[in-house]
Amino acid sequence: MSLYVQKYGGTSVGSVERIQGVAAKVAAAHKEGHQIVVVVSAMSGETNRLVGLADAISEQPTPREMDVLLSTGEQVTIALLSMALQQIGLEARSYTGGQVCIETDSAHTKARIESIDDRKIRADLDAGRVVVVAGFQGVDAQGNITTLGRGGSDTTAVALAAALKADECQIYTDVDGVYTTDPRVVEGARRMERITFEEMLEMASLGSKVLQIRAVEFAGKYAVPLRVLHSIEPGPGTLISLEEENEMEAPVVSGIAFNRDEAKVFIRGVPDMPGIATSILAPISEANIEVDVIVQNVASDGSTDFTFTVNRSDLVKTKAIVDQIAAELNAAEVITDDKIAKVSVVGVGMRSHAGVASTMFKALAKENINIQLITTSEIKISVVIEERYLELAVRAIHSAFELGNAPA
Ligand code: ASP
Ligand code: MG
């Protein structure tokens, strides 16, 4: 007998029929003898609808009232799902976050979970009941309702799985797993059987909206095995877990991530001396702008060229700051470019294999794609290229590492 926390997102509970479908799935797992805790989101579109209502009343609704409002979406689904479960003969009980003591800090609309008292849930499970918990919400020490940030139901599910020491946290969603890359870009992209937390975090930045990043971090920290599954079609999904003992057996490259959200800032001809990097980057971080790729290189005339990337939406703000610093430093020029994209190959197997970079670069060279920047970490190699070549690059690299489905 295993204990599973199953999470169903907004689309999976988007209609009465879907809620009944979820109930049938939960019942099947329960019948196999497992203990089941279900975490649900609000019905799809509901949270946005509530946000719209608030906006219609106030330009700046207070965060506390926002939380009281937004938490209602999930309260609807826990009750409906419990009714659907009871309707097919299961004993089920619904609880809001506060009722099962999901205690958070007081940072309304982006609260963090501090503790969970699992006693009530355990008692229900031991009595043979299915427990249905509202995702995305908790209460602070003063009893105020809080919410965890958009997409926060994933985090609720992982936190409950950690508190209950569940065998698995199963995230049911509208895709059947995590893919080697975006199937909309590469037709032959393949569902992965398993992937490590580390890899998933690198892949998640690719805008794979499969899982909230925070939930993956949380699961990694508490070593909660996470499984992503389709909420209607049966299948094993993708297991996200700690690294396998034997890294040698891991595929060298697991997947290809990419994003178009970055822009590049190039400062040419900066004096080559200690303190330059911090004098450029400190004001940027003080402005709360996140820097991603950073490359510094000495030019032939002894000055230094300094390049970095920021989120595209921060480019205008960044440029204003950099122009000022460049003037102070007597730099030759500042050039910005927002028509770039970043492509990364990700894989823990890379640690024990050489040659990944050269395979990647060769694939790009064959397509005549120029690499503007390169950065590496232990399990990732990223390149920045011209945006218009992004899809071509992803396809070329995906096939160079033979990540796709074997041809029939
Ligand atoms: N209902 C919330 C949202 O739409 C939380 C979630 O779905 O995970 O963001
Ligand atoms: Mg969601």
Give the mutation target among 13, 38, 41 for probing the ligand 1 site: most ligand atoms within 8 A of CB: 41
Among candidates 308, 339, 341, 312, which has minimal Cα distance to 325?
308
In the chain, pLDDT over 90 holds for what percent of residues?
86
- pLDDT given for residue 223 in this prediction: 95
Q: How far is the CA of 297 from the centre of ligand 1 (A)?
A: 44
Burial zone of 127 (CB within 10 Å; 0-12 exposed, 13-18 middle, 19+ buried): exposed
In the chain, pLDDT over 70 holds for what percent of residues?
96
Burial zone of 21 (CB within 10 Å; 0-12 exposed, 13-18 middle, 19+ buried): middle
Give the mutation target among 6, 12, 46, 70 for probing the ligand 1 site: most ligand atoms within 8 A of CB: 70
Strand spans (E) along 174-286: 194-196, 226-230, 238-241, 255-259, 262-270
Taking only the tens place, the pLDDT of each residue in 88-124 is: 999 999 999 999 999 999 999 999 999 999 999 999 9
State which ligand 1 atom lies nearest to the alpha carbon of 74: 1
- Give the ligand with the smallest distance to the CA of 39: 1
SS3 state at 228:
strand
What 8-state DSSP symbol labels residue 167? S
- Torsions phi, psi of 249, nearest 5? -90, -10
Check: CB of residue 281 under 8 Å from CB of residue 294.
yes
Mean local confidence (pLDDT), 350-354? 84
Q: How far is the CA of 288 from the centre of ligand 1 (A)?
A: 26
| Full-model pTM | 0.87
Q: How far is the CA of 67 from the centre of ligand 2 (A)?
A: 17
Per-state percent for the chain, helix, strand, coil, to nearest 5? 40, 25, 35
Q: How far is the CA of 125 from the centre of ligand 2 (A)?
A: 25
- pLDDT given for residue 248 in this prediction: 58
Q: How far is the CA of 68 from the centre of ligand 2 (A)?
A: 19
State which ligand 1 atom lies nearest to the alpha carbon of 152: 8
* Residues contacting ligand 1 via CB (< 6 Å): 9-10, 41-42, 47, 73, 135-136, 150-153
Measure the CA–CA gap between 135 and 96, rounded to whole angstroms.
Answer: 8
Taking only the tens place, the pLDDT of each residue in 185-228 is: 999 999 999 999 999 998 876 555 678 888 999 999 999 999 99
Taking only the tens place, the pLDDT of each residue in 246-301 is: 655 677 899 999 999 899 999 999 999 899 999 999 999 999 999 999 999 888 88
Taking only the tens place, the pLDDT of each residue in 117-164 is: 999 999 999 999 999 999 999 999 999 999 999 999 999 999 999 999
Q: How far is the CA of 226 from the centre of ligand 1 (A)?
A: 18
CA trace torsion 179, 164, 21, 79 (10° rounding) = -130
State which ligand 1 atom lies nearest to the alpha carbon of 41: 7
Taking only the tens place, the pLDDT of each residue in 360-383 is: 999 999 999 999 999 999 999 999
